[in-house]
Structure 1
């Protein structure tokens, strides 16, 4: 595997930006910490300025959604949490030998003997101490040139000037100096394949860990981070673990680009009206106006990833925005951005050419409008035929 080129670090925000972000969340409010799930959700919807600004400022979106009158049910159920913990304990039993067996089975290497596997102690005071202890363990394991398994290491990644502390399930260090992120999920892998949406979400989350791990590897000669992660899931309908290698280079690129964009949230903040704040002590109408002053890119997928999704959905429906129907529908409709405009185009005179919202020359019918007219005509024919039977 070729050695990776170190990625340039994103610039640290200025003092003025940090003060502006503090004003946005409330001067006395500490920044809400970001985790891997939140960073992965950012990468999944990079066009949402609202989420970028709120996460960059460290606003507690769950508390904000409750203050707006649209509390979120976002989160993992207690049953799923317990089941996931039980499965992870099974995968890591016997000192990680089962996990290493799965890794070697997928990569074709010889599994190490139990005595040849190092299990570093990573406990320390606070997330900063744990992140420092993890970096030291990675350095020692790479220098030793043996097998090592880091259980729940702590990684630090700077996001908009504030450290985000991330905790992958495990990291495998190989004798050749390669580091691999292990992601353990409780959804099933049936016939060596799993639900594509769940795998995609896991890949985006793992890409955040890979990015943070790369920041550590850049400072260690001979270290290399694998761009494929080991995804471990229950096999078929049993509780037996199976694994698959998932290439996260695409997700890694999107995540890196989105996090770099977060360091420039001053561009979004500068466009806000004077006095805008998301301080939860402000009245609900002021909070609503502040939130609405930042553009959102709502899609039904947000319901599974963002605490403000119910608020944004309500606003999108009230405005008749086609994005409430999904990104696929939004993309097909081109410049027609509201349901009213779509219905008007479909019901317009089929003999009258219609210019597109993008400025199509007069007299030329927009292909989207033509398709809508055709669909409306076919529907009318089908209803007429059904009424005659």
Structure 2
């Protein structure tokens, strides 16, 4: 008699059924994790990412395609720049790490350790990376170690996510540093703040995953909370680097990931037969997507492939979240635009509620400014 499936096996089968027969899971990368951590209340994204559903294809099938993606030229330029930075066993990269981060004597070109991280499958690569980090830390005295595209694992809402940073450097003093290589320019020593912020949030996910690896070592090595961001200098293809403190992003990411509802809890609440296979009829697919609660905010437009679909639904429902998280927080228990207008005009709401009181005061001021006929009041001379 065959043994009953374990909880992990049963969950994988359940998630495979949600994706559709024979559809492989889409890998959950650090960029997606950073976006997921920024909106932990969205069960829809948590489930779809946890199940490995391709949200871009799903958005196309729903008739609300996303604008995500990188041009082929930008992709090739980014790859060429990364290859240049990592050439010669990471000699230039290690020079930049030493220059900006310290942590040991100046690296000698050709003498840094570059362990082979190849293995079968993401689990194998994760185990090989952990072994390489352990060996490099044990033998770190006086030597640099450069790990190119290591594989890290992080438990997200009950499912493993495999992450691949551009590089991790083990310093001669035994500390670990995450290196992020981006193709946007660093002009006169500074880069676009929004892009740097996005890179910092992504790197914080890598730092968090590295801390999990370090926690299994005795003594646990220090994972540096300053990462090295490498970008093209000005408008050239020469590398420039800056140390970026990600402690704030790390704290937020850790807290938000802990708040995520476990994927199996969301999946268990779905109607029987729910499936996100994009080959299914549009009405069935829409019903499946709508069966999972979403928490839309305008910030989703820059982070989620389903943002246009969720925005349309939020507007149809009159949800105040479509106006921004900041406003939603100010309105307290008022969750729809109709409720807000009713409270502002005195038709509903507790007058002792600060949000209701502020709305009614704003309505009075607006009425005074527009005058009795809704026209602008005459200017005073």
* TM-score of the aligned structures, taking structure 2 as reference length: 0.84
Give the match for residue 138 of structure 1: 133
Secondary structure of 1:366's match? helix
1:74–1:303 contact (8 Å) kept in structure 2: no
1:88 to 82, 97, 102: 82
Contact 2:40–2:257 (8 Å) recurs in 1: no
- Is the 8 Å Cα contact of residues 355 and 361 (structure 1) preserved in structure 2? no
User: How far apart are 1:177 and its partner, in Å?
Assistant: 1.3
d(CA) in 2 for partners of 1:267 and 1:14? 13
Selected match of 2:18 from 21, 24, 28: 24
Mean alpha-carbon deviation: is it higher for 139-148 or for 261-270?
A: 261-270
The aligned runs of 1:62-211 (5 Å cut-off) are: 62-108=56-102, 110-145=105-140, 146-160=143-157, 162-211=159-208
2:368 pairs with 1:370: no
Counterpart CA distance in 2 for 1:175 and 1:365 is 60
Q: Provide the rounded CA distance (Å) in 1 between the counterparts of 2:205 and 2:152.
A: 10
Shift of 1:158: 3.8
Cα displacement string for residues 237-273 of structure 1 (whole angstroms, at most 9, x for unaligned residues):
4443222222223333333344445572233334333
The alignment status of 1:304 with 2:302, answered yes or no, reads yes
CA distance in 2: counterparts of 1:186 and 1:102, whole angstroms: 16
CA distance in 2, matches of 1:320, 1:363: 22
Distance 1:119 1:67, change over 3 A: same
User: Cα gap change, 1:180/1:296 in structure 2, threshold over 3 Å: closer, same or farther?
Assistant: same
Shift of 1:18: 4.0
Once the two structures are superposed, the pairs formed by residues 201-350 of structure 1 within 5 Å of their partners are: 201-222=198-219, 223-262=221-260, 264-343=262-341, 348=345
CA offset digits 1:17-75 (Å, max 9, x no partner): 44443443335444332122221111121121110111122222222222212222312
- Mapped partners of 2:167, 2:354: distance in 1: 62
1:315 deviates by 1.3
**More off after superposition, 161-170 vs 141-150:** 161-170
Counterpart-to-counterpart distance in 1, 2:321 and 2:338: 13
RMSD over equivalenced CA pairs, Å: 3.2
Decide whether aligned partners of structure 1 residues 46 and 197 sit closer, same or farther in structure 2, where only a CA change above 3 A counts.
farther
**Distance in structure 2 (CA, Å) of the matches to 1:160 and 1:365:** 37
Contact map agreement 2:151 2:163 (CA 8 A) in 1: yes
Give distance in 1, aligned partners of 2:353 and 2:85. Answer: 65
Q: Is the 8 A contact 1:13 1:263 kept in 2?
A: no
Cα distance in 2 for residues equivalent to 1:153 and 1:364? 50
Q: Once the two structures are superposed, what CA deviation does each residue of 1:335-375 show, in whole Å capped at 9, x if it has no partner? A: 443344445555x3xxxx5664xx45499952133234424
Give the C-alpha shift of residue 312 in structure 1. Answer: 0.8
Change (3 A) 1:364 1:311: closer
Distance, in Å, in 1 between the alignment partners of 2:313 and 2:284 is 16
How big is each residue's C-alpha offset from its partner over 1:182-231, in whole Å with a ceiling of 9 and x where there is no partner? 00112233444333322221122112212222222222224321122111
Q: Distance in 2 between matches of 1:260 and 1:16?
A: 23
- What's the counterpart of residue 384 of structure 1? 376
The answer as to whether partners of 1:355 and 1:362 remain within 8 angstroms in 2 is no
Separation in 2 of the partners of 1:52 and 1:241? 36
| Selected match of 2:41 from 37, 41, 47 | 47
Q: For the Cα contact (< 8 Å) 1:188–1:236, is it kept in 2?
A: yes
Structure 2 SS opposite 1:182: strand
Residues 305 and 388 (structure 1), Cα distance of their counterparts in 2 relative to 1, 3 Å cut: same
